[in-house]
Amino acid sequence: MKKINVGLIGYGTIGSGVAAVLAQRKARIKELTGIDIELKYICDKDPRVKADKRLLTRDAGRVLNDPGVDIVVELIGGIHPAKEIILAALKNNKDVVTANKALLAEEGADIFTAAKKFNREVRFEASVGGGIPIVKAIREGFVSNEINEIHGIINGTCNYILSRMSDEGCDIKVALKAAQKMGVAEADPRLDLTGIDSAHKLILLSGLSFGVFPKMDQVYCDGIMAVEPRDIRYAREMGYAIKLLAIAKRAQGEIEARVHPTLVPLGHLLANIKGVYNAIYVKGDLTGETLFYGEGAGKFPTASAVIADIVDLAKQISNPTNPINSTNPNSKLKIKKIDNIRSRYYIRFSALDKPGVLANISGILGKNNISIASVTQKEERIACLPARQANAVPIVMMTHEALESRMRNALTLIDKLPAIKKKSVALRVETL
């Protein structure tokens, strides 16, 4: 089994996440894919960085010039020297993984041209939508589709601010302060609020979907600074939410690429994406409407995306002759019997409307260790029952979490009560 060596350049939040997960999941990845991925270098120029000393170097040149390194992971961000590092890696016959949306959006042409020239790949799953595998979905999952449009909520900071303004009626300054306090907006939030970060990501989505990377000055870009609480309120009255959307779509043989606050119908899933979450709504000509939702940033979601790219490249490089069967039929995990699950339950009893019935029911539940969260007796007839049972009424109950076997036992006993006129309906509740 070939070992694939990775050189990590940039050991900040995401870099340290990648290193930690690569170490912790090394065996798992090997088992799933048949590939042995070894972190050979951690490179960071900051002398205060703490990492495994056998891997740590301050000299990116050591990583870039080591012929043993197969994949360079660039996580330093910014344009320079990230660009020079990536170009050197490609020239030295290494594949590249990056999360650097600004670089790819602004200098992507040079980088992808170099990749082509040197027969290497540049992967960038982590640069759009954090942990959401949207690049893979478009590039591989939708390989046979013509993508017609993409509408993305791809900046968590703006979505958090707009959600707060919407929920609380506060203005953008208040919401921004709250976001900064929560750690979901930077001290200098301009890249986010102006829509520039969304535009960077939109350029990449457009490149993936249409084969054309617009330049920054071709992307119309309006931030959320002008949105007032009253706009959110009026929009809602008209049946819309206001979201910062990044939009790329085909229109009359051209591509529209724009970022701006947008009214979205309240019934649409995009209107229901709350807080820091991201969602990318993609229409392919074969698949129709699809939507991909998840955390758009953060140490571990982003690390997850970086590692997926590393593993994909490692597969390509090593092309293992034993095939990749990540569906392993030999796992030792047992399947839990339904009797042993715990759940909350919605129960509807059809009971005679007479004294003592509820006491009987709740007595049986109590003996089975089932605690009632709420109960309502409905003042309505049960239509389909014969006349002699016509005074049965629905009693609707929500329980706290209980053991399934106890619930079944209780229901069997309850359904035998003379006052119960129809099999009780019990549905499980998932709090999610």
Residue from 9, 42, 85, 242 binding a second copy (CB under 8 A): 242
Omega cis (within 30) before 418: no
Maximum Cα–Cα distance for the chain, whole Å? 89
Region from 43-51, 75-83, 152-160, 204-212 binding a second copy, contact rule CB under 8 A: 204-212
Residues 220-239 that bind a second copy (CB under 8 A): 220, 226-228, 230-231, 234-235, 237-238
Dihedral (Cα; 133, 87, 72, 155), 10-degree rounding: -30
- Looking at the Cβ atoms of 79 and 338, the one nearer to a second copy is 338
Q: Does 417 bind a second copy (CB under 8 A)?
A: no
Residue type, 314: A
Residues 101-120 that bind a second copy (CB under 8 A): 108-109, 112-113, 115-116, 119-120
**Residue 3 among the catalytic residues:** no
Yes or no: say if 129 and 280 are a contact pair by the CB < 8 Å rule: yes
- Looking at the Cβ atoms of 183 and 253, the one nearer to a second copy is 253
Residue from 54, 181, 336, 354 binding a second copy (CB under 8 A): 336
Q: Does 298 bind a second copy (CB under 8 A)?
A: yes
Q: Does 288 bind a second copy (CB under 8 A)?
A: yes
Residue 218: partners with Cβ closer than 8 Å, 6 or more residues away: 257
Residue type, 223: G
Residue from 41, 142, 160, 349 binding a second copy (CB under 8 A): 142
- Looking at the Cβ atoms of 62 and 428, the one nearer to a second copy is 428
- Looking at the Cβ atoms of 62 and 173, the one nearer to a second copy is 173
Q: How far apart are CA 255 and CA 214, in angstroms?
A: 9
Q: How far apart are CA 407 and CA 16, in angstroms?
A: 47
Residues 381-410 that bind a second copy (CB under 8 A): 394, 396, 398
Binding mask 182-201 for a second copy (x = CB under 8 A): --------------------
Residue from 64, 97, 103, 303 binding a second copy (CB under 8 A): 303
Residues 263-282 that bind a second copy (CB under 8 A): 263-265, 268-270, 272, 277, 281
Q: Does 210 bind a second copy (CB under 8 A)?
A: yes
Residue from 6, 9, 105, 247 binding a second copy (CB under 8 A): 247
- Looking at the Cβ atoms of 52 and 228, the one nearer to a second copy is 228
Q: Choosing from 201, 243, 249, 421, which is the catalytic residue?
A: 201
Across 99-227, the runs of DSSP E, i.e. the strands, are 122-123, 147-153, 220-221
Q: Does 297 bind a second copy (CB under 8 A)?
A: no
Q: Give the nearest distance from C-beta 304 to a second copy in angstroms.
A: 4
C-alpha separations of 244 from 155, 171, 175 in Å: 8, 16, 15
Residues 48-107 that bind a second copy (CB under 8 A): none
Residue from 181, 188, 322, 416 binding a second copy (CB under 8 A): 322
- Looking at the Cβ atoms of 42 and 257, the one nearer to a second copy is 257
- Looking at the Cβ atoms of 57 and 120, the one nearer to a second copy is 120
Residue from 183, 211, 386, 418 binding a second copy (CB under 8 A): 211
- Kindly provide the b/e burial profile for residues 8-28, where b requires at least 16 CB atoms within 10 angstroms of the residue's own CB: bbbbeebbbbbbebbeebeee
Residue from 198, 284, 361, 393 binding a second copy (CB under 8 A): 284
CB atoms within 10 A of CB 259: 28
Residue 234: partners with Cβ closer than 8 Å, 6 or more residues away: none
C-alpha separations of 84 from 60, 95, 313 in Å: 11, 14, 21
Helices 26-33 and 13-24, interaxial angle, to 10°?
A: 60
Q: How far apart are CA 94 and CA 20, in angstroms?
A: 22
Q: Give the nearest distance from C-beta 181 to a second copy in angstroms.
A: 21
Q: Which residues pair with 43 in a beta bridge?
A: 9, 57
Query: What DSSP string describes 105-142?
Result: HHHHHHHHHHHHHTT--EE-GGGSSTTS-HHHIIIIIT
- Looking at the Cβ atoms of 60 and 397, the one nearer to a second copy is 397
Q: Does 327 bind a second copy (CB under 8 A)?
A: yes
Number of residues that bind a second copy (CB under 8 A): 137
Residue 223: partners with Cβ closer than 8 Å, 6 or more residues away: 158, 193, 194, 195, 196, 244, 261
Q: Does 289 bind a second copy (CB under 8 A)?
A: yes
The residues that are catalytic are 201
